[in-house]
Chains A and B, each alone.
Chain A
Amino acid sequence: MPSLKDLKNRIGSVKNTRKITKAMQMVAAAKLRRAQEAAEAARPYADRMAAVMAGLTASAAGSDMAPRLLAGTGEDRRHLLVVLTSERGLAGGFNSSIVKLARLRLAELRSQGKEVTILTVGKKGREQLKRDFGDLFVHHVDLSEVKRIGYDNARGIADEILDRFEAGSFDVATLFYNRFESVISQIPTARQVIPAVIEETSEAGASSLYDYEPDENAILNDLLPRSVATQIFAALLENAASEQGARMSAMDNATRNAGDMIDRLTTEYNRSRQAAITKELIEIISGAEAL
């Protein structure tokens, strides 16, 4: 049975932990708001880009002149998995869920006899994948110095991927990240970026009315790399919001658990104290009776 002093120390240390988790929760809440604003602000560009792309690709996809970023290499043998995770832990299942999805996909691709390579962004995903798949890593992007994710970061990653594609080291690239649904729900998502996947939109038909200058293929050649960067940027922003959301709810849970623990320990402390008092009383009384 722990002594009174031990119990008191434990209560003190759990209280300190609770203070920290509470603070982290509040910091995450503030960061989440900023991350959501950033994601919101980036939407018009991405939407426009997607709409124009949809119009362009509808007419270009069929032709033989279609760029490789759109039409693919004609093969589906070598896959690049781009795993976007965070640089910091203590965010609940945020990183694990992305890694889990990537692992599933990897196993599936391997069972089909495809070659797989991995490009990691963020320390946490790299650490988790290193043991089993360390030999598949081709590159790692470190964002730990980045305070606020900007388009330049996304472009750096996109350039890295595009260079590899140009060099012919893979056929298909897929992004893995968490889509932000709400504070309590982030959905691990896989999204293919190369070759480009164009969502069918109703605008696609209307866009064919446009005049293109210089011509459709020239614009497409210019646009496709930008579109890859834009999609990576969107994924990074979603990820950032998800990370803060996941951290917020994880820290909320931790704070609540610490509270429960403090209650339990306090009850135990009071009980032991009472037991000690009773014991002393009995000793006094039996001492007096013995006289």
Chain B
Amino acid sequence: MADTMQFDLVSPERNLVSVPVREVRLPGADGDLTAMPGHAPAIVNLRPGVVTVVAADGSETEFAVTGGFAEINNESVTLLAERGHPRAEMTQEIFNDMMAQAQRQVKVAQERGTAGEEIVAAAVKLLADMEALGTHIGLDPNQSNFLH
């Protein structure tokens, strides 16, 4: 079996990354998971979090994504994310923007009377995940609380 597989990070606007990798660690909606070559085909929902990509030479690269889903099969992982940034390029500004979007979603969900409990809960969870993501990479989620 090949010891690397193809990893693609695709945003709606363009292809962000396309490299051969040894393993990919993904923030699945139900828990983190690692995909390696020969993984059984799966489609996994992601929560906002950090994706770690291990290249063939063992070097690690991290990307912050705002959710989406990953398509995993035998020799490739394709990650469809609405937004993805290499960790090195994550600035407080970008993070603030992401947070603002999550906060808006919570607000919209709460304001809309017709929305079910679970929609509000999902939006709140998204916000919490987003905050966790910020804390994880050392950005302050509280700086962006301009909606409160």
Q: Give chain A's interface residues, CB within 8 Å of chain B.
A: 38, 41-42, 44-46, 48-49, 52, 55-56, 150-151, 154-155, 159, 163, 166-167, 209-214, 218-219, 222-223, 226, 229-230, 233
Contacts and interface: CB of A to CB of B under 8 A. Distances in A.
A45 B80 CA distance: 7
10 contacts: A44-B8, A44-B10, A44-B15, A45-B80, A151-B12, A151-B82, A154-B12, A210-B41, A210-B73, A233-B12
Contact of B11 (A45, A52, A155, A229): A45
A210 B77 CA distance: 13
Contact of A166 (B29, B44, B115): B115
Contacts of A48: 10, 71, 78, 80
Nearest to A55: B43
Interface of B: 8, 10-15, 28-30, 33, 40-45, 68-69, 71, 73, 78, 80, 82, 108, 112, 114-115
A211 B69 CA distance: 13
Contacts of A155: 82
Main SS at interface, chain A: helix
Given A45-B80, A52-B69, A151-B82, A210 B11 contact: no
A118 B69 CA distance: 32
A73 to B, nearest CB: 14
A206 to B, nearest CB: 9
B82 A219 contact: no
Contact of A52 (B28, B30, B40, B71): B71
Contacts of A41: 13-15
Contact of A213 (B14, B42, B82): B42
Nearest to A150: B13
Contacts of B15: 41, 44
Contacts of B8: 44
A210 B71 CA distance: 9
A212 B112 CA distance: 30
